[in-house]
Amino acid sequence: MSDRKEVSSIQLDTIHTGDCLEVLRTLPSESIHCCVTSPPYYALRDYGMGGQIGREASPKEYISRLTEVFTEVRRVLRSDGTLWLNISDTYAGKGNQGDFTDPKNPNGRNGQTVALNNKVEGCKPKDMIGIPWMLAFALRDSGWYLRNDIIWMKENPMPESVKDRCARCYEHIFLFSKSRKYHFDHLAISEPIAPGTAERLKRGVNGSNKFGKAIPGQVQPQTINRSRAHGAITDAEIKPLRNKRDVWVINTVPFKGSHYAAYPPKLVETCLLAGCPEGGIVLDPFMGSGTTGMVARQLDRHFVGIELNPAFTEICLLYTSPSPRD
């Protein structure tokens, strides 16, 4: 790329085409501030690439391969670095076992002529496999600190035709850290307090309020429940912002490219504002449509991307190349 920069033997604002594990092994240790990524989901889609992740014979093999990848990610992260990992679940089921060809979809839905989740060890047909937590616990066992399970809720999810369970409208975003202490800018993603919170704080609370009494395990009641006279807390003393909650309502947005799993820029923006300082470097080992790189540029961060599929690399370049005014 013409805008490629190099700092401390790492090429910035560039996308490497190839196997993510092989490319990661070429990156210097403790050179990356933050990783924001979404690996291919298990048994969801066949991208037709040899060595692709997501087409393993079993969930255990899938988890093992991802653990190997994120062990390398942990090596290249700075000691105060974080990993923001978007992952979703799937169900065990009979699926297409290769004995039927749909004339409308000769390659199978999502490019799969044979469903890999038709037989899953330890699962009955229709069981939710539990992929996100299998991965989260595997990464925790490998040395990562598991800090948050953030629910990414969508008000415009993909429709499902199921009638024997609720339709899904969320995915997981796990926040991992490399060390006990790490970079997390909570102020950058703070949100306004609830409309009624300020009014409750300004109201008086008498001593008979059950929530104002100390209980075992809680040294003192929350500020909002402590006994006080009406007006004892003024507007000037009320903080207008609160720490961001762990349910994020962010809708998907249309994507014109041929990639099927582009996540919304707002999702990446929130992760980067909290996890990567201005001028820092964000890594995405599953670059896909290039959203991570595009948002990094907009927020004055650098990026390093890795993508197995050359066709997707071309899409990435369209969205991450600098504009004429840069």
Give the pLDDT score at 19. Answer: 95
Chain position carrying tokens 């933050």 = 34
**How many whole angstroms separate alpha carbon 156 and alpha carbon 173?**
18
- Cα–Cα distances in Å, from 156 out to 10, 41, 153, 250, 254? 39, 20, 9, 9, 11
Say what percent of the chain tops pLDDT 90. 56
Alpha helices in 77-147 (DSSP H): 131-141
Count of Cβ atoms closer than 10 Å to residue 186 Cβ: 12
The Cα–Cα gap between 255 and 253 comes to 6
For residue 266, what are the contacts with CB-CB under 8 A and spacing of at least 6?
Answer: 250
Q: What is the pTM assigned to this prediction?
A: 0.84
Rounded-to-integer distance, Cα 166 and Cα 151, Å: 16
Domains of the chain: 5-90+128-190+243-320 (3.40.50.150), 195-237 (no CATH)
Tokens representing 44 are 């969801």
Neighbours of 318 (CB within 10 A): 12
Give the model's pLDDT for residue 273.
98
pLDDT tens string 266-285: 999 999 999 999 999 999 99
HEC string for 35-58: EEECCCCCCCCCCCCCCCCCCCCC
pLDDT in tens, 10-39: 899 999 999 999 999 999 999 999 999 999
Q: Can you name the residues that pair with 306 across neighbouring β-strands?
A: 16
| pLDDT-based confidence at residue 49 (cuts at 50, 70, 90) | confident
Tens of pLDDT along 202-253? 777 766 666 666 777 777 777 777 777 777 778 888 889 999 999 999 999 8
Q: Name 86's bridge partners.
A: 173
